[in-house]
Chains A and B, each alone.
Chain A
Amino acid sequence: MTLLVVDGLAKRFGGLQAVKDLSFTVGEGAVVGLIGPNGAGKTTVFGLISGFIAPDAGEVRFRDRSIVGARPHQICALGLARTFQIVRPFPRLTVLRNVMVGALARHPRRADAEAHAQAVLAEVGLATKAAQPAGGLTLADRKRLELARALATEPALLLLDEVMAGLNAIETERIVELVRAINARGIAVLLIEHVMRAVMSLSQRIVVINYGERIAEGSPQTVANDPRVIEAYLGEAYAGAPPG
């Protein structure tokens, strides 16, 4: 079964066509990468899917029902959770409280939510920092917290918006392992990422967009060798050049 179907999605901001006739799907338990140069419209796509931005045209179906026009909290309740590229911790709440907010979506009783949040913190490796205020975390830990909170809502599909940006190689590798472990539990992942090695190793399929339009789609291998993708990233001059 296809978990997420994006069909003919379009969004214009004033004179800027941020997303144009975009279609792709995410299968149950799949990992799909969404890549493209800066300003290609990737984060807008996340906003459109998660209900923060209303599309001008097109359809988003999640688990066979349309979620266009649904409020973000309703979409979260259906099992689609997102993270933010610019992390948005609740700075004065403890790390545990931050994750509990997500956990309460499935466990309305405080004690249950707390137990679930503790388990998620252990999974992402933040258990020792549970009692700290989230405002004092390092960037790497904030990215983990962002992931942990979304994970605590027990989604079937997780939208990750650049959870590796700004991290060093070791931290990135840890997050890659974490995403892999999350996916191994059957949670599908749609991933925006600039760290190419990470996207290439994680994704089964990659959708490339530029100027809001899909310019390529396929396995990491196919996409990496697609002249249109190389052109979008490096400019026309490199598109025909032999690799290396």
Chain B
Amino acid sequence: MKALGAAVVAVAVLVVLPAFPAVLSSYAVSILTLIFFYGFLGQAWNLVGGYAGQLSAGHAAFVGVGAYTAAVLFERFGITPWLGMFVGGALAAALGGVIGYLGFRFGLRGFYFVLLTVAFAEVCRIVASNTDAVGGALGFYITFTGNPRHFQFQDPRAHYYIALALMLVATGVAWLVERHRFGIYLGAIREDETAAEALGVDIFRYKLYAMVLSSFLTGIGGTFYAFYLLSLQPGSVFGIPLSVEIIIRPIVGGAGTLLGPILGSFILTPLGEVSRAWFGQGGYHGAHLIVYGALLIGVVLFLPQGAYPYLARLFRRAQ
């Protein structure tokens, strides 16, 4: 049965999702693009926040570092974002390594680690806002060329496929992590660091690996963000709201599960977009956050493990 379920999912991914842009409206395609992109960011976060249980609330920092790096390399030095993407990922990974080193070396747990990650993201935001070379508080703008070599496309459906590929790659990485010693150790660290240490787990090293891998992937996502929107504002790419967007999907969907971040994105992204448009029209900007808040309270109260483990249980029972 398990093999059958996996086969159904694989067929859906390989046949149905790539075929969508041919039949759906451009609005639906743009929503799906966001679902995949946030699913990707959520999956990247899931490696350190879900599997390893280290709640980074500053993942926007990595999106921002990746986005600014690729954008500046392209605008100032003419380096293609296809390459800049990996430079951005590497710089984000380096930042993740510094944050992880500080947090894990000094054994910051729970809220203290949350505060550390938020602080780093805020510092990044303030630095970007005050650095004229990257546009300062006004932001940084990318010239539209529409050239695929510049990670730019005349056809918006290209973004759909790139976001889908990003999500699938991150999920593949998570799947590999889950199946190896690394993933089992991360689970042990999440459950009880002291017990893990006693059983031979080098908790510092594995937490650091998870942080670096997660920030690398998130940094790669920064390039997509930059060249999808073509403009970067420090407040939006480095801001707390983006960090919250990244975290909330895997938590609602099921942190530390393979499909939780994707499920969370399928639930929250359309809800966020629709309610944003709805409340925005009525002049209630930001009211969609109330919807998020209400949903989050509901999840914490009724599905503390997230939606995916709950659905998986229902599915098993139905069999």
Contacts and interface: CB of A to CB of B under 8 A. Distances in A.
Given A73-B203, A93-B188, A81 B198 contact: yes
Nearest to A134: B191
A101 B188 contact: yes
B180 interface: yes
Contacts of A129: none
Contact of A76 (B184, B188, B194, B198): B198
A52 B187 CA distance: 21
A186 interface: no
Contact of B198 (A50, A91, A97, A104): A50
Interface in A84-109: 84, 88-93, 97, 100-102, 104-105, 108-109
A77 interface: yes
Contacts of A73: 197, 199-203
B197 A97 contact: no
B132 to A, nearest CB: 46
A212 interface: no
In this complex, the interface size class of chain A, counting residues with CB under 8 Å from chain B, is 20 to 34
B277 interface: no
A82 interface: yes
Contacts of B200: 73, 76-77, 102, 104-105, 153
B260 to A, nearest CB: 14
Interface in B168-188: 179-181, 184-185, 187-188
A90 B188 CA distance: 6
Contacts of B196: 90, 101
A150 B199 contact: yes
B197 A90 contact: no
Nearest to A102: B199
A72 interface: yes
Contacts of B203: 73
In this complex, the interface size class of chain B, counting residues with CB under 8 Å from chain A, is 10 to 19
B192 interface: yes
A110 B185 CA distance: 11
B202 A104 contact: no
A113 interface: yes
Contacts of A153: 199-200
Nearest to B309: A92
B191 A92 contact: yes
B199 A101 contact: yes
B184 A71 contact: no
A102 B191 CA distance: 14
B195 interface: yes
Nearest to A149: B199
Interface string A140-167: 0000000001101100000000000000
B192 A90 contact: yes
Given A102-B199, A110-B179, A153-B200, A97 B194 contact: no
A87 to B, nearest CB: 9
Given A149-B199, A150-B199, A104 B185 contact: yes
Contacts of B181: 104, 108-110, 113
A88 B202 CA distance: 17
Contacts of A149: 195, 199
A90 B180 CA distance: 18
A88 B197 contact: no
B50 to A, nearest CB: 12
B199 A76 contact: yes
Contacts of A89: 192, 195
A88 B195 contact: yes
A149 to B, nearest CB: 6
A93 B203 CA distance: 17
Nearest to A88: B195
Interface in B27-58: none
B268 to A, nearest CB: 23
Contacts of A109: 181
A28 to B, nearest CB: 21
B184 A100 contact: yes
Interface string B185-228: 10110011011111111110000000000000000000000000
Contact of B187 (A71, A82, A97, A110): A97
A88 B180 contact: no
Given A81-B198, A110-B184, 12 more contacts: A76-B198, A76-B199, A76-B200, A81-B199, A84-B194, A88-B192, A90-B196, A101-B185, A113-B181, A113-B184, A149-B199, A153-B199
Interface of A: 50, 52, 71-73, 76-77, 81-82, 84, 88-93, 97, 100-102, 104-105, 108-110, 113, 149-150, 152-153
Q: Which 6 A-B pairs have the closest CB atoms?
A: A105-B200, A90-B191, A76-B200, A88-B195, A72-B197, A101-B188
17 contacts: A52-B194, A52-B197, A52-B198, A72-B197, A73-B197, A73-B200, A76-B198, A81-B198, A88-B198, A89-B192, A90-B188, A90-B196, A92-B191, A101-B185, A108-B181, A109-B181, A150-B198
